[in-house]
Amino acid sequence: MEQTKANVKIPRDVSKMLLAEEQVLLSVKQSRWKVLFNPDTIVVTSQRVIRYSPSGFLGIHKDIEDYRYEDMANFKVSKGLFFATVTISHRFNSESLILDNL
């Protein structure tokens, strides 16, 4: 994990793909209560939302998905006592992106 100027920890693979003018605003990791091994990290930047999903033994395999703000239609945040779920509807895709156990 690397730290940006604002002391936000982000995975090294994500920091390598950031654009020069892109600023990291927030980084959130899935709860270890729900996902014991290899929790996802959600990185919110000034231009997009990035989902970093390590998987496999010791997180050797990594999936990185990014979603630009102009492609998003609606955000829905459901907060519970311990966890939160963010649902993002896309303009051009019928499936919503669900970020759960945050």
> What's 2-60 look like in SS3?
EECCCCCEECHHHHHCCCCCCCEEEEEECCCCCCCCCCCEEEEECCEEEEEEEECHHHC
pTM for the model stands at 0.76
Closest CA relative to residue 46, chosen from 71, 23, 69, 27:
23
- Give per-residue pLDDT as tens, 29-64: 876 665 667 788 889 999 999 989 887 666 678 899
